[in-house]
Chain A
């Protein structure tokens, strides 16, 4: 009996000791818990050096918007704004103004009046923002992988889509009112008088050989495709010069199906009246731009190239050599003619933008941007 009692006592002590140690263990665990909070845990961005974060006094009427595509399926698109007056670059202004991200893959932006239209490709959405404060006025939906927008007048715009159809947007109600049926991927577009010239790449899930590459000519009064003509493979970029010629860059296909070309269309006859062929395997041209007087072409071809509209051959050397930069986006200031070119670096980290002299291509200023800075949009009253 005595013995049994002793044993029980001993167990009691053991239990007490263990209880004490247990408390220590639990409190250790609770310590780790202190890292947990009730606020949503979301991505934090450390701002770049000298970050002007206060956008409350910024008016978006004199500067350059950089549309940062972001990574596909990462939903990290953004807009950077360079204010001409202060020379400062404001990062992620859409997020600042709207307290939410812009979305997944922002393709391009254009301005009509006091509104900015940002095309968010993988969200099938156009964010219409006020240029006063960059707050969203409306998110237009109903697209099928939208790419670019072009305004016809103050009431109507066309939007190209990767999947199918050209959408017609009513600028008064900010809705898609109609579609011009196209079976395939439409990409770049430019207005020429009453007509819209829209490049069509073909079905995007087939090899280049099976793609029908053409340009559609649409009567903007009737919204009917009135004509089309065949072009080189993958016509990605279109613009118009002062002599009323339309220029198109064709990459030749993602699988190097044929040599890339720069083609010129005479819209009076709707024929390709000139074609320049790029050397194979040296690069792929893209991002065709015009200078303010519309007599000089700019495009990316690893480096930035400059070419007079009347030139008889492609330029031999780069205007701004790439020098291991990954040039991705290109824009020419509509007033000053300065060249804006972006470096996507590795497509994952925040990119850079260089403002370069129109005279010799020298870098005048460099700015931090968001991820994959792809296109530029200049405000109407841009000066500098």
Chain B
């Protein structure tokens, strides 16, 4: 909560060789340290979060794409489950990382193929200060929700260690209006128990070699709550996730070249129990990912970065017959060239060799143009091609999977303007970005009934989707005497439409895909003075259709949240207190049909920090 002196830093990374990138640093994330990733992204980014209900699944829709087209990464390794090809953002605590990097559309190709929407990378970086810093934070929130976070960051100019712990126990017994009975009832069966530990060690040798080791264990055990009108008899549904992730990295930095090597091992165990359907299944996935990158800057204005990635997935699931594996070898080449002080460009080429077959070639070209010397105005554009291979569930789910699926592919085009102005006295900073995208996705996989046997559903390459939209952001930082004002605003418009139908009665041609809002806005205004903070956040989500023919929809809603806090500095200690009021105006809304959402609710956080 304690803000450093005004630092001018761009969140909307300007230019970036023609690819759009946004960063949220630890300062911006500070008020969200007790929250999960879905909350923070829905309040400060342009990514739409489809959240069923507190304690339930939260997935993304990035630039009008389905959830499996956003890849969430932790320091460069995928957090997605290889069976599902997507991640549940409600299971990722913000306290487990420092920064969020959002790579829009084609920018994600620097990390991976297949994320048509983009990549969200959760990053931790060492600061090489000689100090020891320890903190404990406790949050008590409405509906019997308790969050504890603790961390020790210690190190010298050559060695750093980050240790973090998080614990969450939530009952989520919030009251809501049951449309079925018309009565106020209390949500049941939405308990969550979650804890995690991360340990990260960084070692620098002769300012040339950097070794990094990271381990993250997380445990998540939750009830799956019922839909509003499904509550006549509730049969327990439970989801248990236990995940261990580990990464080893080495980086060598020379004058005209550098080299990096990364290897990781991830084990994700999941158990799903549904007493109504008599399901009690274990799913166990092991993923090993290794990557090597070489950067050569031998010729002026030119950077060449070849690389190799190798991923091996090994899955043992009660829903598959036998063990299923997948190996992907990726060849990567990135060429960045600076024509002059005004024009830069970057070419990315990717070719994956997956289970013995070459995948579609993925080229993308970005161009950045800075027309004026003294004004930070950047124009950027890129053209890209991308593909996504079916998930393991699509291919191998017992009886229903379809091993004959082809990859989905996407042709995309985007362009944008970024502008920022830091005032010479350093007291004022404004940045703004507007971008537009147009993307046409083919052979999209949809689980649909077989034409010769409607009682059997199989994933099939049947759909085409055209997503296009506009994103606009405006951020302000302003220091007036002791008062510091920061504000961030994001506005999106998105048309994501179905462009291919298979039945003569199908009315969905040209209609918006379900649960993708046509527009969203979120804005934050924070005031800081004398170690007080007062913040206001407004999130508006426009209507989302619930039927492919757009006959029914969930109306738009806006939610307001406020935060008030104060921190006290006592020599080497900082004590801070923070109160949050969520859904300030007690809006009775549903994000997903028939899934209840809580009304006004509160949280109180006390944080104790020691630094020496």
Which residues of B are found within 8 Å of A122, using beta-carbon distances?
230, 276
A325 within 8 A of B: yes
Which residues of B are found within 8 Å of A328, using beta-carbon distances?
454
How would you classify the secondary structure of chain A's contact residues: helix, strand, loop or mixed?
loop
Chain A positions within 8 Å of B, measured between CB atoms, are 11, 14-15, 18, 22, 25-26, 29, 32-33, 35-46, 48, 73-76, 99-101, 103-104, 120, 122-125, 139, 141, 144-145, 163, 203-205, 251, 254-255, 281-284, 286, 302, 323-328, 343-352, 371
B179 and A348: CB pair below 8 A?
no
How would you classify the secondary structure of chain B's contact residues: helix, strand, loop or mixed?
loop
Closest to B557 in A: A41
B230, B507, B557: most-surrounded residue (chain A CB, <10 A): B230
Task: In the complex, identify which listed stretch (B131-139, B243-251, B372-380, B481-489) lies at the interface while the others stay far away.
Answer: B481-489
B207 within 8 A of A: no
Which residues of B are found within 8 Å of A144, using beta-carbon distances?
233
Distance from B575 Cβ to chain A, minimum over Cβ atoms (Å): 29
B589 and A323: CB pair below 8 A?
no
Q: List 17 A-B contacts (CB under 8 A).
A: A15-B480, A32-B523, A35-B540, A35-B556, A46-B552, A76-B593, A99-B182, A103-B230, A123-B233, A139-B232, A141-B232, A163-B276, A205-B279, A281-B452, A284-B454, A327-B454, A347-B449
Known: A76-B593, A302-B452. A41 touches B503 (CB 8 A): no
Which residues of B are found within 8 Å of A74, using beta-carbon distances?
227, 593-594
A326 and B503: CB pair below 8 A?
yes
Which residues of B are found within 8 Å of A73, using beta-carbon distances?
227, 230
Task: In the complex, identify which listed stretch (B122-130, B154-162, B432-440, B543-551) lies at the interface while the others stay far away.
Answer: B543-551
Checking A26, A36, A350 against B525 with a beta-carbon cut-off of 8 angstroms, the contacting residue is: A26
Closest to A286 in B: B455
B276 and A145: CB pair below 8 A?
yes
A205 to B554, CA, bound (A): 35
Closest to B597 in A: A41
Closest to A22 in B: B485
Chain B positions within 8 Å of A, measured between CB atoms, are 177, 179-182, 227-233, 276-279, 399, 448-449, 451-456, 478, 480-481, 483, 485, 487, 502-508, 514, 521, 523, 525, 536, 538, 540, 546-560, 585, 587-590, 593-594
Total number of residue pairs linking A and B with CB closer than 8 Å: 194
Which residues of B are found within 8 Å of A282, using beta-carbon distances?
452
A26 to B452, CA, bound (A): 59
A224 to B594, CA, bound (A): 41
Which residues of B are found within 8 Å of A26, using beta-carbon distances?
525
B456 and A100: CB pair below 8 A?
no
B278 and A204: CB pair below 8 A?
yes
Which residues of A are found within 8 Å of B454, using beta-carbon distances?
284, 302, 326-328, 344
B546 and A345: CB pair below 8 A?
no
Task: Contacts A36-B557, A38-B588, A351-B505 known; list 20 others, CB within 8 Å.
Answer: A14-B480, A15-B480, A29-B538, A36-B559, A39-B588, A40-B177, A41-B555, A41-B557, A43-B554, A43-B593, A46-B551, A75-B594, A101-B180, A123-B229, A123-B230, A141-B233, A284-B453, A328-B454, A349-B506, A349-B547
Checking B180, B230, B523 against A29 with a beta-carbon cut-off of 8 angstroms, the contacting residue is: B523
Which residues of A are found within 8 Å of B278, using beta-carbon distances?
163, 203-205
A22 to B593, CA, bound (A): 37
Known: A33-B538, A35-B558, A44-B552. A345 touches B485 (CB 8 A): no
Which residues of A are found within 8 Å of B227, using beta-carbon distances?
73-75, 104
B279, B480, B483, B589: most-surrounded residue (chain A CB, <10 A): B480
Known: A35-B558, A36-B558. A324 touches B502 (CB 8 A): yes
Distance from B431 Cβ to chain A, minimum over Cβ atoms (Å): 16
A324 and B551: CB pair below 8 A?
no
Which residues of B are found within 8 Å of A75, using beta-carbon distances?
227-230, 593-594
Distance from B472 Cβ to chain A, minimum over Cβ atoms (Å): 14
B505 and A345: CB pair below 8 A?
yes
Known: A36-B585, A343-B503. A349 touches B230 (CB 8 A): no
